[in-house]
Amino acid sequence: MKPLNLALLLTTALSLAACGGGGTAPPAGDTTAPTVSLTATPNPVTAAGAVLLTAAATDDVGVTQVVFYRGATEISTDTAAPYEATSNLTAADNGSVQYRAVASDAAGNTKEATSDVTVNIGAPADTTAPSVVSISPAGGATGVAKDANIVVTFSEKMNQAATQAAYQSTDLPASDVTFSWNPAGTVMTINPNADLLYTAAGKTYAFKLTSTATDIAGNALPATNSSFKTFRQLTTTLNSTPALDGWVRSDGTVNTTDELRIGDSGDVGNATYRSYLSFDLSGLPAGLTSANIVSASLSVYQFSVSGAPYTDLDVGVSDLILDHVNYSTTLTGTDFDPTVYSTLGDSSSSALVGSYAKSVLSALKDDRSAGRTRSQYRLRFAKLTDGDGNADIAYLRQGESATNKPTLTLTYLIP
């Protein structure tokens, strides 16, 4: 008899152990959890007895088990589909009982689903109709924001499927909204899939809940109707105030009747011109807040250019600069350097004749927040003068011009 080859036996044993005795190991790197849902039948429970729990569980490799729980207490484990368990309920359980199903795969990934069961054993039948406690936006509301949701609060827990099916609206059909509920089942949120519309008159949205909506006992909700209107979105264009338009020269000279000038003169020692614009805000709606100003654009018309101000008087990337300023009710020589709230950037960077527009939204919001009745601006080049003795001037139309006046165009929201 030949002696046993101990090395061979040891190698064979280790190979078998590594293979799990011939079993199949889970795929390496499996991090995908199973999917699982849980239903309980009957629900609600009105008589003592068993509730059947059914879990629908799947996995890309395979589900190894589903463990059922009542709250934190394990009920049973099922290792083969259909995954089921039972739980007995009595009148002592009246109220709400939560069940859980935890599905696992071979790699140890888990996923949980829950189901709340309403227990009402031996209690008087619920024959009270539910009611609507509140609706937001309130019926008849105006000035509703475009991102608003409709929120309906009920007097008791509702049958969610029946209540959603009872929702009807031509303006916001069920296909264009998403429903959600609070955990107690008493608050339904209707979230439009796209923003609501703003129009000049305000867009009206109406909806109703028919009497097919019920509570969990099957009592019908009285039919409910409601409507609301979004903000009105209006656009207005303001002309500048002629008496407050003008230019100020660095030697103190002021002119409020001539066309606007920005640059340096060919005489008076190459003195610098800066120009000013004022817009009267007193005609805007009294209830307009800064938050509801959607856009604001200041437009000026350049009708002529003398010399080369856009090259000789610029600094770096700066050209014809627009400042948000305050010079009050009169333009004077001291306003060559007025109170400056902010610098808004270049209103123009070209010597070509034409209109140039610049957003002044931040300035308008600031004016409205501060309660100002005027919005005022200064136009200047970065460099005071190039000192060459020649005129370098951009000429713009002003408020007294017959055409192409400076304008301030606002778009805003108002209830």
Question: Rounded to two decimals, what is the model's pTM?
Answer: 0.70
Place of tokens 């700066």: 318
SS3 at position 149? coil
Indicate if the pLDDT at residue 142 is higher than 50: yes
- Output the pLDDT for position 233: 98
Query: What local confidence, expressed as pLDDT, does residue 287 receive?
Result: 92
Give residue 262's pLDDT: 98
- Examine the pLDDT at 12 and tell me if it is beyond 60: no
Contacts with 285 (C-beta within 8 Å, 6 or more apart), sequence order: 412, 414
Task: Name the pLDDT band for 28 (thresholds 50, 70, 90).
Answer: low
* DSSP-assigned beta bridge partners for residue 187: 153
Q: 35-119 and 132-230 share one CATH topology?
A: yes
Instruction: Give me the pLDDT at residue 333, please.
Output: 96
Instruction: Give the pLDDT mean for 244-273.
Output: 95
Exposure b/e, 312-331, CB count within 10 A at least 16 = b: bbbeeebbbbbbbbbbeeeb
Its CATH architecture, for the domain 132-230, is: Sandwich (2.60)
Per-residue pLDDT for 45 more than 50? yes
Mean pLDDT estimate for the chain: 92
pLDDT digits (tens, 9 = 90+) for 263-309: 999 988 899 999 999 999 999 999 999 999 999 999 999 999 999 99
14 phi, psi to nearest 5 deg? -65, -35
- Cα separation, 324 vs 307, whole angstroms: 27
Q: How many residues are there in the chain?
A: 415
**pLDDT higher than threshold 80 for residue 11:** no
What per-residue confidence (pLDDT) applies to 8?
37
Going from N- to C-terminal start, the domains of the chain cover: 35-119, 132-230, 236-414
Q: What is the DSSP letter of 195?
A: P
Q: Considering the domain 236-414, what is its CATH architecture?
A: Sandwich (2.60)
Q: Is the pLDDT of residue 67 over 60?
A: yes
Is a pLDDT exceeding 70 seen at residue 227?
yes
Q: Is the predicted pLDDT of residue 349 greater than 80, yes or no?
A: yes
CATH class in words for 35-119: mainly beta
Per-residue pLDDT at 25: 56
Q: Please say if the pLDDT value at position 21 is more than 70.
A: no
